[in-house]
Structure 1
Amino acid sequence: MADENSVNEVLLVIGDQQRKISGWNNVRITRGIERLPSDFNLTLTEKYPGVADVVVNAGDPFQLFLGADVVMTGYVDTLTDGFDAQAHTVAAAGRSKCSDLVDCAAEWPGMQIVNSDLAQIATQLAVPYKGLGVQCDLTDLPKVQQLNILLGETPWSIIERVSRFSASLAYDNAAGDLVLARVGTTEAASGFEEGGNVESARTVFSMLDRFSEYMAVQQALDMLSDLSGGSLNVITKVTDGGVARRRQRVIIAENLSASGLAITEQRAVWEMNRRIARGAAVQLTTDSWRDAAGQLWEPNTLARVHLPTLKVWESQLLIGEVTYRLDDEGEHADLLLMPPDAFAPQPFLLQPQFADVLGTDVRGIQ
C-alpha cells in the first residue's frame, strides 16, 4: 500500500515535454462553484531537493496532480524567483484553462447569438481557446432566441447570464473544462465529524440578509404589454417564518410575458430560500484532502457535517469551495459548506422587453 506522502505528492507537470516538478513545500490550490477560474500558488525553497531543476516559464501549460489525481489543468500565470539571506525561493502561480473565458474578449461570428442553448453558446465561445472543452449533461436547456454580443465583453460575462437564464451553475473541473450543471446531489463517501477529522470549524448563523416577507412585483417596462391582455403589477408574497419581526423586501421582477407571474413567484421563493441557506454557512479545516474512499473533496458534492459544539447536527451540506493546503504543519483542506439552496441559480429573464409580442422563450427555473 502506498504511503500518504506518495498518495498526496504535489506534482506540477509542465508543457508537452511533460517536465515534472515535485518537492513543493508550500501549496495552495482552490476550486469552487462560485469562482472561475480555479487557481494555485506553489512555493519551493532551496533547502528542499529539486529547486535547481525547476524549469517553469510564465505562460506554460500545466497539469497539477495530488498523488495520481489531476486537480487542475491550465496555464502558469507568474513565476517568481528570488533569494534572501536564508533561502532561495521559486514560486509559481496559475489558473485553469477557463481563465481565457474570464480575461479575453468574446469572439462570435456576426456578434449575434441566435436560437442557441447554453451548451451551444458556451461551446462556441470556447472555440478560440485550444483544448478548452465544455461538459454538460443537461437536456432541458431553453433556447436563447437572440442575443447581441457587446464589443469587448468577455465570454464569461455572456455564459454567466445565460447560465442564470438556464438555471445552471457554471464552474471548472480538474481538467480545466467548463462544467454546466445543476446543484449537486452526489454524496461524498464520508463527511466531517467533530472529534474526528475536523481540526477547526466556524459557523456563521446570520439574520442580516433575511426578511419576514418577500413581495415580488411584476412591472411593465414597455408600452405594448396591454396587447397581451396580461395583468400588470402582479404581486406575489412569500413569508420566512424564521424572522420574528416585520421586515419586508420588495423585488421588482423583469416580467413582460405570459410566464411572467411564474417567474415572479420563483424569484420570490428563490430570494427567501437563498438567504435562509446563506445564513447557515460552515467553514472548517480538515486533516485530509480526501474522503474515506480516497477521493479528493470536490466542489458541488454533498457531505454530512456533525459539529455539536457549533449546533450543527448531522446536516447534509454542499461543498461550495475547497482549498487544498500544504505547509510546515502538513496537509489540510479548508472548506466552505452551505445548504444546497444557497447555490441555486437566480430565476432570470434574459430579454424581457416585448417578450409577449415577439414570442421569446423567457423561462427561468423549470
Structure 2
Amino acid sequence: MADLRLFINGAIYSGWESVRVTRSIEQVAGAFSVEVSDVDPWPIKPGDAVEVVCGPEKLITGYVDRVSMGLDESSHTFKVEGRDRTADLVDCAVLGGTGGYAKQSLLQIAQSVAKPFGIAVRAEADIGPAFLKFSTQPGDTAFAVIERGARMRGLLTTTDGTGALVFTAPSGKRADAALKMGENIKSAFLEADASEKFGTYQVRGQAPGNDEAFGKDVSGVFAISKDGTVSRYRPLIVMADMSTDKASAQRRANWERSVRSARSNRLVVTVAGWTKSSSGALWKINEIVACDIPLFGIKGARLISGLTFSRTLADGTTTEIELAGEGAYVPEPVSKAEKESILA
C-alpha cells in the first residue's frame, strides 16, 4: 500500500505515530493532522505551505493552520494541523468586485473572487448560462459569494486535493468496489434521526401578478408533499420568496421531503487500509457504492459523502467512510426569480 507523505515548504516529513486526513462533499476544504513523539520539534510553523500525498495522488494542498507541542517527564509530542488552500475562501472577506457582477458566468465570478487568493477554479458539471446581475454585500466571505451562485445553479462546491475549487454535482458514478459486513467492513455505526423529518411539507408564497397570471393563481401559492414514513402529526411550513409559482412551490416541497428523508440515516463504516481492494485506488467522495449490512437492514446503494483516512498505533491504517442516501445532495430547486436572473 502506498504510504502517506507530508511535504512542508518542499521538504518531506515522515515517521509520525498518527495521521488523519478528512475529505467531505459538504466541505470545500479538506483537513489533516499528524502527530509524532520523542523527536526534536520539526522546524514547522503556522502558515507554511503543505502537501499531503498518498502514492501518486494529492489529498491536501494548502497551509499549516496550527502547531502544538507537549511534554512530560518522559516524552514530548509534536502535532501539525492544516487545511486546503480553499480554506482561505471560507475564512476571508471578498474585497474586489464588492457590489456585483453583470453578464458573467458562475465560473467567471468565482475565478474573479478566488484570484487574489491564488486559487484556481474549475467546473466538472454544467455551470449554466451567465447571470444578468449577481450582487454581493460588504462583509461577505469569498466562499459565501461563490456558494450562493453555486446554489442558484444547483451545484456543489468542493476541492480536488490540488487546492483548486471545483463545481460539481452528484456524480452518479459507481465505485469499483462494494462494502459488505463480514468481508471488508471492520465496524459500522448507524444513527437514525427523525428530528428533521416531517409528515407534511407545505410551501406557501405569493407571486407578483401580471397579464398572464393574476387573482388566485398568484395571491396564495401553495404546495404540499407528504412523507408516509412519519406516522404522527408533524407539519412543516416553508415560506417561499415572492416570485414563487405553483410549480416551483411543488418542486420545493418534494425536495424538502426527499432530501430530509435521505439525510435522516447517518451511516459510517470503517474498512482496513486506504484503498479499494479491487483496484488499489483510494476511496473517493461523491461515488455510489453498494452496501450490505444485514443487521442494520441495509442492502443497496449509498453515496460516499465523507472520508477520513487515518493511521494510529492502536488501530493501524483505516478509512472511515460516511454514507448517505443517494438523494441526500440533490440540489435545491431554483426559484422563478433566480431563473429570471440569467441571460437567455
TM-score under structure 2 length normalisation: 0.91
Contact 1:162 1:350 in 2 (8 A): no
Contact 2:205 2:222 in 1 (8 A): yes
Give the Cα separation in 2 of the matches to 1:138 and 1:68: 25
Shift of 1:204: 2.2
Shift of 1:121: 1.5
**Alignment partner, residue 301 of structure 2:** 316
Of 251, 270, 282, 1:266 maps to 251
AA in 2 matched with 1:286: V
Distance 1:346 1:75, change over 3 A: same
Contact 2:103 2:131 in 1 (8 A): yes
Distance 1:53 1:304, change over 3 A: same
Secondary structure of 1:343's partner? coil
Alignment of 1:32-111 (within 5 A): 32-46=24-38, 51-52=39-40, 54-109=42-97, 111=99
**Alignment partner, residue 200 of structure 1:** 187
**Alignment partner, residue 21 of structure 1:** 13
Contact 1:31 1:322 in 2 (8 A): yes
Of 267, 291, 299, 1:282 maps to 267
Structure 1: segments with no counterpart, 5+ residues: none
**Alignment partner, residue 31 of structure 1:** 23
Structure 2: segments with no counterpart, 5+ residues: none
Shift of 1:153: 1.3
Give the Cα separation in 1 of the matches to 2:252 and 2:318: 38
Shift of 1:268: 0.8
Give the Cα separation in 1 of the matches to 2:92 and 2:132: 25
Alignment of 1:1-366 (within 5 A): 4=1, 7=2, 9-15=3-9, 18-46=10-38, 51-52=39-40, 54-109=42-97, 111-130=99-118, 132-220=119-207, 225-227=208-210, 229-230=213-214, 231-256=218-243, 260-291=245-276, 292-313=278-299, 315-328=300-313, 329-349=315-335, 360-361=341-342
Contact 1:107 1:128 in 2 (8 A): no
AA in 2 matched with 1:159: I
Secondary structure of 1:188's partner? strand
Give the Cα separation in 2 of the matches to 1:253 and 1:194: 44
Give the Cα separation in 1 of the matches to 2:78 and 2:97: 43
Shift of 1:344: 1.7
Shift of 1:142: 4.2
String of CA shifts for 1:42-67, please: whole Å, max 9, x gaps. Answer: 10112xxxx44833222111110123
Distance 1:10 1:55, change over 3 A: farther
AA in 2 matched with 1:244: S
TM-score under structure 1 length normalisation: 0.86
Give the Cα separation in 2 of the matches to 1:87 and 1:68: 34
Mean CA deviation greater in 106-115 or 293-302: 106-115
Shift of 1:348: 4.3
Shift of 1:281: 2.3
Shift of 1:327: 0.6
AA in 2 matched with 1:263: S
String of CA shifts for 1:114-154, please: whole Å, max 9, x gaps. Answer: 12232221111110012x11120323524332233222211
Mean CA deviation greater in 74-83 or 93-102: 74-83
Give the Cα separation in 2 of the matches to 1:101 and 1:156: 5
Contact 1:216 1:265 in 2 (8 A): yes
RMSD: 2.2
Contact 1:255 1:349 in 2 (8 A): no
Shift of 1:183: 0.8
Secondary structure of 1:293's partner? coil
AA in 2 matched with 1:360: S
Give the Cα separation in 1 of the matches to 2:335 and 2:108: 19
Secondary structure of 2:116's partner? coil
Give the Cα separation in 1 of the matches to 2:137 and 2:59: 34
Shift of 1:10: 2.1
Contact 1:219 1:252 in 2 (8 A): no
AA in 1 matched with 2:308: T
